[in-house]
Structure 1
Amino acid sequence: MRYGAFVAEATKAGLVFARSSSYANILQYAGNGEPDASAMFARAIAASRRIYVPAGTYVLNNVNWPSNTEIFGDGDATILKMPTAASLLISCDSGSASVANNIANLKMSRVQLLATCDVDGFSEHQHLVALSGVSNVLFEDVLFKGFRGDGAYIGSGDSAGVERHNENVSFVRCRFDGINRQNRNGISFIDINGGLVDGCVFTNCTAPNMPGPIDMEPNPSSPFAIIKNVQIQKCSFINNGGGVGEVSVQIPATVTAPPQNITVVDCVSSGYAGTGSFASFNTNRVPTASSVENDYRFIRNNVRDGNCPFIMADGKRITFDGNTFVNMKSLALVGYGGTTNVVRDIKFLNTEFIRVGTVNAIGLTICNASYVKISKCLFSDCGTGNAGSYAIDFDAGASSFVDIEDTIIETPTGKTLVGIVKEAAHTFTPATNSFYRNRLNGLGNWFQAEESDSIVTTYAPVVGGASTVGAGTYNQQTGLFYRLGKRVFFKIRLAVAAGHTGTGLIQVSLPLPAASVGPAGSMTLCPAGVNGLVTSGGVTARLTPAASLNGVQGTLRIYASGTGQFNQITIPAGAFEIECSGEYTTSAA
């Protein structure tokens, strides 16, 4: 398609930067005896800020790209080639820390940018395009091919500690072909406020020890760096490599501002050959109730035949919704690496883990995390079928406020041996957890939640006297309970040896604090079975919310029910047993 047709098409999309219909054909500015086309480009840009580059190959060595300049060509047939010795193909630098002084309004479309990684191999800092201090930049239908460093480097200068900021940089329908995975990243966002990667394709990108196709990673020497308001949508990632992630956010601890508002939506990935994950997120800071929300969203992505679905080292407010992970060798990971790697407020909604952990045997591992929600998810055949094959593994660390609901864990071919596992080095806070309407299809469940329709929690009830609490020795001390909303269902079995030191009415501790039951201050809960106690008539356990025992508000007090009255049963000198079950309303949140 020639330029006239392209203008008509681009105008419909609202993407044309042009100030007028005039443009310069670069061939009009050709010189004699020049070693490459760099000077020709410079003369064309000086004459007109709209440069048409006809089909052909043009060797460029670090051509400067000034404000209000558009470069367009005839598609892949227009090749802007970077020689082996060049540090960059095209670049610009505002020279200022203020966005008011940014180089602005740049557009490049329908050209191929070509380097030589297939011949000359990897070279980390030899980029096709390097822009620092820019605003309003659009790459549209550009092929970045054979880059040895980055395809596009959106940076902060080329020296340590130099401050530049970039705003509104877009890549639309671009292709990044790394040829042989001997390069750094397809796109590096070192500093960005307002990034769009839309409908792009990344193939064969990234050497094994480099991050991945899209890397958002400020330099450690740039505490002023910004990473926020980035959307990656409708992109394809095919046969890429790298050691961090195909989409990675890695913020050094030296950077002041946390990353914010990053979305990866409607993307597909297949054949990842690296050792990292599809998505990687690490801010190097511990989130708190008052810290800034990262607001990282991962929506409707389809990832298959790769290594690891994702690694969320830390972060606050992370959402996975409607994603599918299929045939992944390694586990998905949340909050790993020690007490400084903590995730707060992460949701997994309508997400499928199908045959995840085909090598390392686990679907999803959660280490240090709070406010975790797993809802309407599917874990199918996660694991290898060998020992240690789990769908969800709570590994070394601590978690709280974990809600699992409407989730299915299944193993059609027997790859998963246990549904949910708690490792010995993991600490739950069961009082904050919930577990409702899940189907584990006979697989084991070691999750701990006091609020559940299927998990029974144990506790150790104690006996104390109403006058003097005292202490005793127990031959049996069993308490079981589960909670549905505010209702607590319990069962108690106690065998107390002779010599309990308490005095007065027998009372038994509850698993959760009791709510007030009205002005009478007590409520008959259930009949009780006793042995070793002197009684007449039946025995009843009554709830007394005003009393407390073992640090829990409310007690069960044991009475003999005579004619028209309740008679107190006091702690005896000898051995005795109590057994009862019932339900009550708790005051716990």
Structure 2
Amino acid sequence: MRDIMSRTTVSNSLSRLVCDRRRALIGLLSGLVVVPSSASCKSRAGEIVLPDLRRRSDTDDSAAFARALELGAPVYCPAGRGSGSDGAYVLSSVPLISDTTIRGDGSSSILRLAPEARSVFIGLSSPDTPLENVALSDFRIEGRVTETGFKEHWNLISLAGISILRIERVEFIGFAGDGLYLGAEHQGVAREPRMIRDILVRDCLFDGVNNDNRNGISVTGGEAITIDGCRFRRCSRPDMPGPIDFEPDAFPFYKLARLRVTNCDFEACGGNVGQVSIVIPPVVPPPRDVLISGNRFRGYRGTGGDVAVTINRQPDSATPAMRCVIEDNVGIDGHGGVQIFSGKDITVRNNRWADYAGRSLFGYNESTAGVLDVTVMGDQFVRCGWRDGIAVAVYKGDGIALEGLLFRETGNGTPGAAPLYLGPGRIRRLSLIGNDWRGNPASAGLVIVERGADYLPGTTRVAGNLVAEGRSLPAF
């Protein structure tokens, strides 16, 4: 036993010696005098320990971060070693560079926005100096929304163009604007396009703290963007879009493709568009290859939907197919489940929406809206429309299939209450196949057709529906 303990003691001593020598080498390279610290022994081989590069003349940790990034090695932020009185790292708009890796010890490694600063990290890609290969993990970023209130463009991380970005197990707390902003542009004298590509945001927390912010994540353009397993809490004030917003500005160079929002959890969020929103100006091509799957929505206090999509045009045969799939999501206690104002080639399947005040909708009745080739299959609508009286509305569209849906306890007992509302826009090729309309005593009718709607019953296909005894669907 004494021999084993002796070998262990020697091994620990050698490890400390290696750590101290590595710190001394970093000090030599950076021109600093470094005092050995046990915290550096938690670092991995080749990593730079951030506080080792802080100088006495530094007012916060921003300059030390810049020195660390210039050395080109991974940066480690040990918990409790920042310049803040509580050991937080205080940072002001630190520019990220390519081939950067930054990690901490989890939520105890706090990176805090400096007073009057707008961002913790910023990044700008250009054709000559692209920003690429950045990995951020295992730390907490704190904003100052409780002190500053809403500041629309004060984003904790703000990147204008980046390729190959990995953000994992990072907590974004108290942002005044966005937690994470991914901009496919540089807003200088003239708007210049930038590439956003190959983005993964996984297992992160976005907590707006007081719902007095913009969005958890904003994306203006890009491709191969995945947001997976993240949690969103108390995001978005009433006049902002919502926790996740894909929304280009009105410039034709923007593109969105291969978007994934999967296995995320939303609670007590707000906004006026949607918890996952896709808003595309008319001059921007519709997004392609979109998957919104396996998410959980609870306690939404905004005025939009859990999932909201608009391409701001009436689609036709020349409109590119979106190949958008919204599946296996579960929502409870919200405003509207899925709201597709306009779009083409969209599949909504196997979702469950319960206890919604408002309605899900497909194809809004405006000249710049409507849907084409939309299938809603296997969704459940339980106690939906308890305030508005309607569970699902189809306002305007062509080629809409409602198949295998379940409606239970929908409506609110008013004369116009119903599981399904049709009109007042132009509706063609509607299919009602194998839906279960039983168990809706608070709905006056099962399907309400708006008077004066531009609706051709002869194009409707109805088959295999389940209806309670004594009730019936309209004679389409």
Instruction: Return the TM-score normalized by structure 2.
Output: 0.87
Given that 2:416 and 2:448 are in contact with CA atoms closer than 8 Å, whether structure 1 keeps it comes out as no
* Counterpart for residue 5 of structure 1: none
Q: 2:445 aligns with which of 409, 415, 418?
A: 418
| 1:296 aligned onto 2:324 | yes
Q: 1:249 aligns with which of 250, 268, 278?
A: 278
| Identity between Structure 1 and Structure 2 (%) | 29
Amino acid in structure 2 at the alignment position of 1:437: G
Aligned length: 424
SS at match of 1:353: strand
SS at match of 2:192: coil
The Cα of 1:84 is off from its aligned counterpart by: 3.6
* Counterpart for residue 438 of structure 1: 465
Change beyond 3 A, Cα 1:337–1:21: farther
Q: Choose between structure 1 and 2: higher helix proportion.
A: 2
Q: 1:47 aligns with which of 71, 76, 82?
A: 71
CA distance in 2, matches of 1:225, 1:338: 24
* Counterpart for residue 370 of structure 2: 342
The Cα offsets for residues 72-127 of structure 1, whole Å up to 9 and x where unpaired, read as 0000111111124112110111123xxx9531110000010110112221110000
* Counterpart for residue 12 of structure 2: none
The Cα of 1:290 is off from its aligned counterpart by: 3.1
| 1:143 aligned onto 2:171 | yes
* Counterpart for residue 308 of structure 1: 336
Q: 2:102 aligns with which of 63, 67, 71?
A: 71
- RMSD over aligned Cα atoms: 1.6
Amino acid in structure 2 at the alignment position of 1:184: R
CA distance in 1, matches of 2:275, 2:226: 16
Change beyond 3 A, Cα 1:229–1:394: same
The Cα of 1:219 is off from its aligned counterpart by: 1.5
* Counterpart for residue 177 of structure 1: 207
CA distance in 1, matches of 2:74, 2:212: 34
Change beyond 3 A, Cα 1:298–1:409: same
CA distance in 2, matches of 1:291, 1:337: 18
The Cα offsets for residues 309-351 of structure 1, whole Å up to 9 and x where unpaired, read as 1221110011111000000000111111323311001111110
CA distance in 2, matches of 1:388, 1:84: 54
CA distance in 2, matches of 1:128, 1:366: 39
The Cα offsets for residues 135-160 of structure 1, whole Å up to 9 and x where unpaired, read as 01000000000000000000022446
CA distance in 2, matches of 1:101, 1:446: 64
CA distance in 1, matches of 2:79, 2:263: 29
Which is higher, the Rg of structure 1 or of structure 2?
Answer: 1
The Cα offsets for residues 335-370 of structure 1, whole Å up to 9 and x where unpaired, read as 113233110011111100111111010011101111
CA distance in 2, matches of 1:33, 1:102: 32
Question: Superposed, which structure 2 residues align to 1:531-546 within 5 Å?
Answer: none
CA distance in 2, matches of 1:139, 1:108: 5
Given that 2:328 and 2:350 are in contact with CA atoms closer than 8 Å, whether structure 1 keeps it comes out as yes
CA distance in 2, matches of 1:446, 1:421: 8
Given that 2:294 and 2:329 are in contact with CA atoms closer than 8 Å, whether structure 1 keeps it comes out as yes
Given that 1:278 and 1:303 are in contact with CA atoms closer than 8 Å, whether structure 2 keeps it comes out as yes
Question: Superposed, which structure 2 residues align to 1:15-414 within 5 Å?
Answer: 21-56=45-80, 57-96=88-127, 102-155=130-183, 156-159=185-188, 161-220=191-250, 222-255=251-284, 257-411=285-439, 414=441
Q: Choose 154-163 or 373-382, whichever is displaced more.
A: 154-163
For structure 2, the residue ranges without an aligned partner over 5 or more in a row are: 1-43, 81-87
The structure whose RCO (Cα within 8 Å, separation 6+) is larger is: 2
Q: Choose 282-291 or 346-355, whichever is displaced more.
A: 282-291
Q: Choose between structure 1 and 2: higher strand proportion.
A: 1
For structure 1, the residue ranges without an aligned partner over 5 or more in a row are: 1-19, 449-589
* Counterpart for residue 474 of structure 1: none
The Cα offsets for residues 31-52 of structure 1, whole Å up to 9 and x where unpaired, read as 1121211000000111133000
Change beyond 3 A, Cα 1:146–1:447: farther
CA distance in 1, matches of 2:475, 2:107: 56
Amino acid in structure 2 at the alignment position of 1:72: R
Q: Choose 347-356 or 81-90, whichever is displaced more.
A: 81-90
Given that 2:201 and 2:227 are in contact with CA atoms closer than 8 Å, whether structure 1 keeps it comes out as yes
CA distance in 1, matches of 2:370, 2:394: 10
CA distance in 1, matches of 2:175, 2:281: 25
